[in-house]
Chains A and B, each alone.
Chain A
Amino acid sequence: MFRVTRRYQFAASHRLNAPQLSERENRRVYGKCNNPYGHGHNYVLEVSARGPLDPATGRAADPAALDELVMRHVIRPFDRRDLNAEVEAFARVVPTSENLAVEIRRRLRVNWTAAFPREWPKLDRVRIAETGKNIFEIGADEIESRSGEGDVP
């Protein structure tokens, strides 16, 4: 089994503030990330596809097809954006990197077959580094599980 991984970057701002919590609770839970003006990160995103080798190309996934999919549905809509204000999924959902990973999984799943119409490759992993020290990953078992299908919680 082969797994092909591409690394992408985007820069975006966010503010962590849960509407269910009071102002004081939000400050306690999110600390600096609750700053009302928001703040930004250079996000590093890895997207992995897995499958068998195509003998004609010597490849398991075409990186150009993966790039087109990820650029169109993730990087362009997210890069240099205010995630809370400009990405609809985060209008009511806190844009933690956990939720960002879930939203990226949803976008990739919805558009996967258009980019990769054959049986293989399949989406295998979504991994986001918010900073060099904070890393969030959705693995193959959670990519394929039907639980939480589609939406951020």
Chain B
Amino acid sequence: MVITRKIEFSASHVCRNPEMSEPENQALFGLEANPRGHGHNYVVEVSVRGDPDAVTGMVMDLKELQEILNREVVGPYDHRFLNYETPPFDRVIPTAENIAHDIWRRVAPCVGNPVRGLYAVRVRETPDLYVDYFGETPCSA
């Protein structure tokens, strides 16, 4: 069974590869490359997969998951300029993919135990664009 908790944070970012020229960055990232940065209201869904506990009937206490997400994600991300304030985005481009990957890295060790594990992280950057990350699973399943 998969259970999901949703959180939101607002943050600014700029998507540029410092090893590329200005025209290359413009071609690749378009408006997202504006050097002054811009913001999004990010909506993140974190999904945990496991079997309901025989006693509590829960895969995981969603209150506990919310506390983990507040500590590991909302705290470091909310109302921040990610490139300047939230490592690793001082050296990693803060695309939705990399944000999903970083949230996975932060959250997975806090929710995983022998009977359950992190299943997916969805990062919705705008209502029309979202990314799901399923961990190190192969792309050709």
Q: Is the CB of A39 closer than 8 A to any CB of chain B?
A: no
Which chain B residues (1-35) contact chain A, with CB distance < 8 Å?
15, 17, 19-20, 28-30
Chain B interface mostly helix, strand, loop or mixed?
loop
Contacts of A64 in B (CB 8 A): 30
Contact with A along B33-68 (1 / 0, CB 8 A): 000000000000000000000000000000000000
Contact: A58 with B97, CB < 8 Å?
yes
Which chain A residues (54-73) contact chain B, with CB distance < 8 Å?
56-60, 62-64
Q: Is the CB of B70 closer than 8 A to any CB of chain A?
A: no
Contact: B127 with A60, CB < 8 Å?
no
Contact: A1 with B97, CB < 8 Å?
no
Contact: A2 with B127, CB < 8 Å?
no
CA distance A94 to B1 in the complex (A): 36
Contact with B along A1-25 (1 / 0, CB 8 A): 1111111100000000000000000
Contacts of A51 in B (CB 8 A): 139
Question: Given A51-B139, A58-B93, A64-B30, A2 and B133 touching (CB < 8 A)?
Answer: yes
Q: Is the CB of A53 closer than 8 A to any CB of chain B?
A: yes
Q: Is the CB of A112 closer than 8 A to any CB of chain B?
A: no
Question: Given A7-B127, A7-B129, A2 and B93 touching (CB < 8 A)?
Answer: no
CB distance from B49 to the nearest CB of A (A): 15
CB distance from A79 to the nearest CB of B (A): 15
Contact: B134 with A3, CB < 8 Å?
yes
Question: Given A1-B138, A3-B134, A120-B139, A58 and B128 touching (CB < 8 A)?
Answer: no
Where the two chains meet, the residues of A that have a C-beta atom closer than 8 Å to any C-beta of B are 1-8, 50-53, 56-60, 62-64, 120, 122, 140
Can you report 26 residue pairs joining A to B where beta carbons are below 8 Å apart?
A1-B134, A1-B137, A2-B132, A2-B133, A3-B133, A3-B134, A4-B129, A6-B128, A8-B128, A51-B139, A52-B139, A53-B101, A56-B19, A56-B20, A57-B95, A58-B15, A58-B92, A58-B93, A58-B95, A58-B97, A58-B98, A59-B97, A60-B131, A62-B28, A64-B30, A122-B139
